[in-house]
């Protein structure tokens, strides 16, 4: 158990809908990362937050947004969902930027 | 921009063989961090090792060892005496932002 909690584990939704994925980092970790893993794109970095502030942005679509709250948990919002958004979404946390990250179990999103 | 290349898509070995996974990185940073992660069939990503650009020595941790060569921008990872439980996808990463495409390792009994 990495100590990073992601909910829900599975999510099935229809095209055009909006979903929110939640992540609770390990106790004491200030940095949260979000990734998307799909069969054809591999593991893609989406966005990083550090102590509530956005620190780095990767290949995150405009339809996606994220935030980190004062208690350090983070949410990833995916809107206007398309079939191609079906993937495994991982959250990871680390004590600070650039140290090793510890991953949650992932949320498997299926868009139908 | 950073880039990580894992040229080996799939590797298959027989149990107890040693296996080396290759990783080549590109970065303009003078200080950087490289990582190896493992993703077993169950799906979770597990941190294995970290290497800082300013570390002087290569290290060994149990059955794992790694070879960091600045001159060739390589960060190779070796599993000694492989076991069936080592079967997984292994990812090399630069900082936490750039992951390689992964190498599927299959260890046969």
| Inter-chain CB proximity B91 and A43 less than 8 Å | yes
CA distance A62 to chain B (A): 19
Residues forming a β-bridge with A64: A78
| Inter-chain CB proximity B96 and A48 less than 8 Å | yes
Q: B36 with B89: CB under 8 angstroms?
A: no
Q: How far apart are CA A76 and CA A23, in angstroms?
A: 8
Q: How far apart are CA A75 and CA A66, in angstroms?
A: 6
pLDDT in tens, B72-88: 999 999 999 999 999 99
Position A94 pLDDT exceeds 70: yes
Q: How far apart are CA A108 and CA A89, in angstroms?
A: 6
Position B57 pLDDT exceeds 80: no
Q: Can you tell me the mean pLDDT for B25-41?
A: 88
What is the model's pLDDT at position B90?
A: 97
| Inter-chain CB proximity A45 and B33 less than 8 Å | no
Nearest to B45 among A42, A58, A90 (CB): A90
Q: Can you tell me the mean pLDDT for A3-17?
A: 97
Would you place residue B30 in the very low, low, confident or very high pLDDT band (cuts 50, 70, 90)?
confident
What is the model's pLDDT at position B71?
A: 87
Please state, for a pLDDT cut of 90, what percent of chain A lies above it: 87
| B99 interaction partners in chain A (CB closer than 8 Å) | 35, 42-45
Position B26 pLDDT exceeds 80: yes
The tokens of B24 are what?
């080549």
Q: B72 with A15: CB under 8 angstroms?
A: no
Q: A15 with A9: CB under 8 angstroms?
A: no
B86: helix, strand or coil: helix
| Inter-chain CB proximity A94 and B96 less than 8 Å | yes
Would you place residue B1 in the very low, low, confident or very high pLDDT band (cuts 50, 70, 90)?
low
- Helix (H) / strand (E) element for A111: namely strand A107-111
Position A98 pLDDT exceeds 90: no
CA distance B72 to chain A (A): 22
B46 φ/ψ angles, rounded to the nearest 5 degrees: -120, 130
Q: How far apart are CA A72 and CA A87, in angstroms?
A: 24
B109: helix, strand or coil: coil
Q: How far apart are CA A96 and CA A51, in angstroms?
A: 9
What is the model's pLDDT at position B51?
A: 85
What is the model's pLDDT at position B33?
A: 87
What is the model's pLDDT at position B50?
A: 86
Q: B66 with B77: CB under 8 angstroms?
A: yes
Position A17 pLDDT exceeds 70: yes
DSSP character at residue A3 = S
| A43 interaction partners in chain B (CB closer than 8 Å) | 45, 91, 99, 102
Nearest residue of B to residue A106, measured between CA atoms: B44
pLDDT in tens, B88-106: 999 999 887 789 999 999 9
pLDDT in tens, A29-74: 999 999 999 987 789 999 999 999 999 999 899 999 999 999 999 9
Give the start-end residues of each E strand in A8-103: 10-13, 19-24, 31-38, 42-50, 53-57, 64-68, 74-78, 87-94, 102-103
Q: A53 with A65: CB under 8 angstroms?
A: no
Would you place residue B58 in the very low, low, confident or very high pLDDT band (cuts 50, 70, 90)?
low
Q: A101 with B47: CB under 8 angstroms?
A: yes
| Inter-chain CB proximity B97 and A102 less than 8 Å | no
| Inter-chain CB proximity B43 and A106 less than 8 Å | yes
Specify the range with the lowest mean pLDDT, choosing from A14-18, B37-41, B60-64, B98-102: B60-64
């Amino acid at each position: 158990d990495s100590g990073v909690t992601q909910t829900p584990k599975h999510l099935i939704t229809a095209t055009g809908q909006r979903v929110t994925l939640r992540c609770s980092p390990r106790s004491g970790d200030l940095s949260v990362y979000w990734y998307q893993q799909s069969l054809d794109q591999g593991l893609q970095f989406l966005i990083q937050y550090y102590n509530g502030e956005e620190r780095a942005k990767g290949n995150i679509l405009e339809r996606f947004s994220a935030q980190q709250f004062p208690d350090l948990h983070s949410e990833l919002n995916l809107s206007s969902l398309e079939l191609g958004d079906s993937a495994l979404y991982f959250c990871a946390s680390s004590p600070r930027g650039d140290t090793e990250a510890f991953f949650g179990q992932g949320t498997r999103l299926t868009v139908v | 921009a950073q880039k990580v290349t894992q040229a080996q898509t799939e590797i298959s070995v027989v149990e107890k063989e040693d296996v080396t996974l290759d990783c080549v990185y590109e970065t303009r940073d003078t200080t950087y961090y490289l990582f190896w992660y493992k993703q077993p069939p169950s799906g979770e990503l597990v941190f294995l090792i970290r290497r800082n650009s300013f570390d002087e020595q290569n290290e060994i941790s149990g059955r794992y060892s790694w070879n960091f060569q600045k001159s060739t921008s390589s960060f190779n990872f070796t599993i000694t005496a492989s076991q069936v439980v080592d079967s997984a996808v292994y990812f090399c990463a630069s900082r936490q932002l750039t992951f390689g495409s992964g190498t599927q390792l299959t260890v046969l009994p």
